[in-house]
A and B are shown apart, each in its own frame.
Chain A
Amino acid sequence: MLLLSGELIVGTAHSVVMLAPLSERDRGRFGSLFVTNYKLSFVPIDNSSNDEYGQRNQLVGTFDVPLTGVGAVWQTDGGPTRRRRLLPRSDVPSKLKGLQVVCKNMKVLTFNFENSRIGNGRKVAMALLHHAFPKRHDLLFAFDYREPYYPTLPSDLNMFQRPGDWKRELERCECPHWRITCINGTSDAFMLTAGETLIVPGSVLDYNLIEAARHFRSGRVPIWVWGRPEGAALLRSGELLPTEQSATAESVLLEQVRRSHPKLTPPRVLYVCGAAGAGASGGGAGAGGGPLGPLPPLAALDASYKKLAELCTPTTLADFWTQDSQYYSFLESSRWLRHVAACLAFADEAAEQLARNVSVVLQEGDGVDYSAVVSCLTQLLLDAHCRSLAGFQSLVQKEWLALGHPFCDRLGRPRPGSTKEDADKEPAAQTAPVFLLFLDCTWQLQRQFPAAFQFTETYLTTLWDCTHNHLFDTFLFNCPRDRELAVSKNFVQRPLWDWEEQFSEQDIALFYNPLFGQPAPSSRFSTGAARAGAGGAVAGAGGAGAGAGGRLQPCTSLAGVELWSQCYERWLPPLDAPRAGPVQYLLHHAALRAQIQKLNEKLSSLSILTRHSRADEGGEGGEGGEGGEAPPAVTRFYPFSARGGCAAPLDGMQLSLIDASLLLDSQSLLNAPD
């Protein structure tokens, strides 16, 4: 097993069987199970060529889980069926037969200790329960990781850490009527969970902001996040507090927003979530969200997600098929897709207003959750730059990190800065997969507009996996202030966006959508007909599925959204099948692009016409190039599935579990003549 610098083994069990997912106790692999201060790691005795298949993380092995990715731990009787939840820091019986770990990315690992030395299983379980749920933030491994970091971030990535970064964004959006204030970086700071730089209407004074902030939750006055050269801007704010002057304070600020619009158009306030929605204030307010209504409180979102997770983590084949027989009821009762559709509806509504050159203020609770989701989606719909990989990462930096989405709270990690005692006293922070909701919505857009995004669903799924890898600082803090505090104590920042830290070139290539952008024929190649044809291709690609002005108009109906199969169902072997699924499109198109590139190269080399003749020619193999590059044969959940790990589910289970009479409305139909 590979240990990182600073990583220590804290628990070991040998002769452990890792059961194949959704199998009974008869199938599995022998190996050793380790718990370190960074991860849970299973090392099989025998290597299988299948282990090389798919995505390989250089820091986390195929059978490793970073401790922050551990969701729930169960004690089992050795098989997958009977189980009892083990709570953090609880005691574990000495004769532990089996352990089941349900990861936050919905992977389920089941271990059997029956061949292991007595007590080994318990040791591992205790170590896991102790280290996977630390009480203090600075106990996370990132603080012990001693590897130096040399940043190689791409230059077009905007980290939104310094005032200059925001200036760049203002210039990119061509919004001259807004100004940068650094008041939030001084002792007068009023929006403690945001970074030091804020963008506000050009006419508003810092003093006004400080005054107004008292009337908004978490001091979240409306702040600029995006704008159009035509004048309309997108702002985010927190909910109004029920103070006497809050309505006045709001309308004063909204008036400043209006004045920042060259046409002096009053802004429209969208109440994304919260009590304010219905009764609230002034003109131009609207509930939005279409027929799906506003977004639910975070606790309800969390509950919704838990039901979804339950649906996606069956532990036995019997469970799997039972769920299958009532799949749509379960899907309905989780309501997750409703929330996804509602986010898209809000974003479409906001994009519609902005396209009409009306400024939009997204108002929500503390202004750090759903407003980030809707704001990001709105920008994805309107701003083609955000659909590039660098643009998307910049967007995450801006909306989620610089503006302080509380990742620790939402992902259920200890709060930075609070001591063990604090943690015991304070009420537990609300966990909720808000960022996942955003990734899911982004995936829906990708699916609806397959050529519009530079990145693939594999990228999004990987990003979700990485939010649970606490080696990187990107999703490690609640707000920029916490991060700065840690840095001042010699914490090494390690942005996630350096993908080479984790993945090979080959894996990173799968992050790029081959349908995005336009392939051009070689410029050296100049027969008229081909020019015209290529021109057509370029013209067609220019819109990349976007309507007028590059705006995407998604389908926001509940019937238009789907479950993100790759992210949620990739660990379910019965669903995996060779040459199946949308990943085939990706690989096929990638092969096409490669062929085009090869032909281009061939053409440019031919056009030189001066190369030595025969040997070269023959070597090219004539037309061999185009047929030869078959896309590799992969299974549905590539690059996440284990190849060959799935037996075709022909065991009749799927039929025997459907009671034929359930498919009937009434007996009379059964008895009708055939």
Chain B
Amino acid sequence: MDGEKLKVIICSGTACFVMGGSELLLLEDELPEAWRGRVSVEAAPCLGSCKDRSCGRAPFVKVGVEDLAGATMPALLALIGRKLGETLGG
């Protein structure tokens, strides 16, 4: 899995912003030094998850193939750590 970056897509749609998602855009400032370069962060227009109640609550973030609902900065960092651990541990 070398060279493959973990892709984090932060939804910056209206519902996600209203439910506190804007601060997730500061993710890059919060990433530990060791994780930088192994994670790519992008903000996306509405991912559409808010339209489907079964997806859970806004704000939403996609981490690799996994969807995180009700995202907060600590929850997002924890998920990224877990994903990176998995990737590294192989």
Whether chain B is bound by chain A comes out as no
**Residues of chain A whose beta carbon lies under 8 Å from any beta carbon of chain B:** none
